[in-house]
Structure 1
Amino acid sequence: MFQLGIDVSKKTLDLCLLREGVKGRVKTRKLKNDFNATSTVISWLCKQQCEPADVHIIMEATGVYHESLAYGLNKAGARVSLANPYRSREFARGMDILTKNDSVDAYMLACYGALKEPEPWVPPPENVRYLSALLRRRDALVTDRSREKNRLEKCRMTDIPPVIAESIDNVLRNLSTEIEHLDDLILTHLDQHAELKKDFDLLTSIKSVGFQLGLNMLVILRGHRFDTAEQVAAFLGVVPVEKSSGTSVRGKPKLSKIGPPEIRAKLYLASLCGLRFNPVMKAMYERLCLCGKAKMCAIGALMRKLVHWCYGVLKTQKPFDAEYLSSDARSAYKAV
């Protein structure tokens, strides 16, 4: 199988084709990243006498500019893998590739596919994609509303014309109205898809998992293929990374923070909420602090535990049980 590395940017695609492995001949090409990118890439592969089914295509999952191309190539029958940008960068350093530009990144991704053979990417179902798009838009509007609230607070602390505050109030009202409209669309979408509605109810059965975190975890868990809860925690960057070597290096373990930071922010807020309202999380936090763990370290453990619980309720298809330490519940969550 041939390896094709594609470095995706907003306007261009840098292609690097390996026909005979890492040490073989290299074919490169720069193309425009537009609505015709999929057909253009396939046409170029055909000129190289490579059928899409015989090519393993590797690109990085950064932003949204890769999505249209990834879906199109997957539909054309190619094997597509989305590499984690952090891991691919570390792979480049391991190969002594210190230069970073578009053409070098495309070659590095092709080598990554040849040597690491990453798992093929499976597109999420259409209903999950639609829900994800609604959530992205809602999060963007919530961020805009927070910014406008901060501007309004600063206006009230300074001597400015009243029309400025009135303008901000109008924007805030419009943003709140649009957010409420998106909330209605999200709830309607859940009602139209019974499996998503059931999974959302299971996730929110966990005390401290609310509307936003429940929806985001639903998109993550149903939009990706995970075999264990540890894989989900690693994907979200809430696993501890140890830093120690010999007798001199004794760094404190920290969260890897590899993955979407906005989800970690929601997990952090949900963990703080759990300290107040979830007795299981509160007991776990106090036990870790008594064992000498720092407070932030204990909160990181709560974030990871929330991820495990979210995976567990969807895997077992049973609501969260606060008495999970009992023998029946332990057997259900043992694999988690």
Structure 2
Amino acid sequence: MQKKLFIGIDISKLVMDATVLFPDGRHDHHQFKNSRAGFNQLLRWVRRLSSKEAYELIFGFEDTGVYSIGIGRFLSGLKLRFVSENAYRIRRSMGIQRGKDDKADSLLIARYLKRNLEELSFGQAAPDLLLELGQLSSQRERLLKERAAHKTRIKELKVLEGCLDMRFLLRIEADMVRLLDKKLREVEEEIGKRIKAQEGLQEKKELLCSVPGVGEQIANQMLIITRGFTRFPDWRKFSCYAGLAPFKHTSGTSVRGRTKVSKIANKKIKALLTMGALTSIKSKNEYRQYYERKTAEGKHPMAVLNAIKNKIVSRMFAVIERNTPYVCLQGRD
């Protein structure tokens, strides 16, 4: 069996701390720039350390958003095995940690790779289009938050209108809202244009929008998060990721907590699915019938709403798998 070399990488904005962990427990550390030149230097350094034996290289780093995209694309382009892992999962798996620095964190990541090798999910960098759509979606979220802040400011200024002259400030705030509205439309149009330019993504978006409760924003986010429905093996895995899967809370004979969803979730898609479920039950459809029937049976309204969100997710995965639009079956739960 080929020996494995584990390379843990702690990534920050400007630099990367890398630690190579050898099978016998020895380790070596070096720091590189978080740039294309730094990636090449990292690879040459690792290959020099492993030149005496034919090691299988396994890289790993925390998913730090924009700062880790570059190294992921670099390794993927060379078809090297790597793991882009959730930072929370790495921290929770390594026991009590006292103190923190980048060098120690890179060693911690390398040890995590070695300890959890059998359970690791090796990945490939997302296609450039999906990465670009992800950044456009993030920009849209920022514009929405800024617009909401300016609208709140307008309400505050109107309270003072009776005793102070707020006309100038109100005009400035109104101009900012109009500008943000314009930029928001431009970003949304750009997202739509890029999806339409990719035939496969546009077809998937149309399939998703055929599911009741799924609008354009939910469809866009699902395509981005699931990387065109290639990232999650089934809807249950995604439901867990989105914080929709209920879990038991019991211990021994004395602890009997209620079954509830976890707070560890992608809150952006969870919020969108909540809005989709709330909107869907306002119409006369199968979701509305299901909601009324279950609440009449004594189920908590929020638990029923969560079940509807899971139904929406399962049906989105189903239409993509079947490659046919959603069709409502009478009497279906």
Q: Distance in 2 between matches of 1:244 and 1:60?
A: 31
Q: Distance in 1 between matches of 2:66 and 2:263?
A: 20
Alignment of 1:218-257 (within 5 A): 218-223=223-228, 224-257=230-263
Q: Distance in 2 between matches of 1:202 and 1:53?
A: 45
* 1:324 CA displacement: 7.0
Residue 181 (1) aligns with residue 186 (2)? yes
**Where does structure 1 lack aligned partners over 5 or more consecutive residues?**
331-336
* 1:103 CA displacement: 3.0
SS in 1 for 2:66: coil
**Alignment check: 8 A CA contact 1:14 1:106 kept:** yes
Q: Distance in 2 between matches of 1:38 and 1:191?
A: 34
**Residue aligning to 1:56:** 58
Q: Which amino acid aligns with 1:219?
A: I
SS in 2 for 1:276: coil
**Residue aligning to 1:307:** 313
**Alignment check: 8 A CA contact 1:142 1:179 kept:** yes
Q: Distance in 2 between matches of 1:230 and 1:62?
A: 25
Q: Distance in 2 between matches of 1:316 and 1:324?
A: 20
**Residue aligning to 1:89:** 91
SS in 1 for 2:134: helix
1:139 aligned to which of 138, 141, 160 = 141
**Where does structure 2 lack aligned partners over 5 or more consecutive residues?**
none
Q: Which amino acid aligns with 1:175?
A: L
Q: Distance in 1 between matches of 2:97 and 2:330?
A: 49
1:122 aligned to which of 118, 121, 124 = 124
SS in 1 for 2:273: helix
Structure 2 vs 1, CA of residues 90 and 286 (structure 1 numbering), >3 Å: closer, same or farther? farther
* 1:100 CA displacement: 4.3
Structure 2 vs 1, CA of residues 44 and 324 (structure 1 numbering), >3 Å: closer, same or farther? farther
Residue 17 (1) aligns with residue 20 (2)? yes
**Residue aligning to 1:204:** 209
Residue 43 (1) aligns with residue 44 (2)? yes
* 1:35 CA displacement: 4.8
* 1:176 CA displacement: 0.9
**Deviation digits for residues 132-190 of structure 1 (CA, Å, limit 9, x no counterpart):** 22222222212211111111111111235321111111111111111111222222223
* 1:212 CA displacement: 0.9
Alignment of 1:262-281 (within 5 A): 262-277=268-283, 279-281=285-287
SS in 2 for 1:191: helix
**Deviation digits for residues 77-100 of structure 1 (CA, Å, limit 9, x no counterpart):** 32111112222222112xx54554
**Residue aligning to 2:67:** 65
Q: Which amino acid aligns with 2:137?
A: L
Matched positions, count: 323
**Deviation digits for residues 113-135 of structure 1 (CA, Å, limit 9, x no counterpart):** 11222111122223322322222
Residue 4 (1) aligns with residue 4 (2)? no
**Alignment check: 8 A CA contact 1:58 1:113 kept:** yes
Q: Distance in 2 between matches of 1:324 and 1:220?
A: 31
**Alignment check: 8 A CA contact 1:221 1:311 kept:** no
**Deviation digits for residues 239-279 of structure 1 (CA, Å, limit 9, x no counterpart):** 11211012111112221233421111111111111221262
Q: Distance in 1 between matches of 2:297 and 2:18?
A: 52
SS in 1 for 2:258: strand
**Alignment check: 8 A CA contact 1:285 1:298 kept:** yes
**Alignment check: 8 A CA contact 1:5 1:108 kept:** yes
Q: Distance in 1 between matches of 2:198 and 2:54?
A: 34
**Alignment check: 8 A CA contact 2:213 2:312 kept:** no
Q: Distance in 2 between matches of 1:52 and 1:211?
A: 50
RMSD: 2.4
**Alignment check: 8 A CA contact 1:13 1:31 kept:** yes
Q: Distance in 1 between matches of 2:239 and 2:93?
A: 21
**Residue aligning to 1:320:** 326
**Alignment check: 8 A CA contact 1:42 1:52 kept:** no
SS in 2 for 1:277: coil
Q: Which amino acid aligns with 1:296?
A: M
* 1:4 CA displacement: 1.0
Structure 2 vs 1, CA of residues 160 and 82 (structure 1 numbering), >3 Å: closer, same or farther? farther
TM (norm. structure 1) is 0.87
SS in 2 for 1:301: helix
Q: Which amino acid aligns with 2:328?
A: A
SS in 2 for 1:66: helix
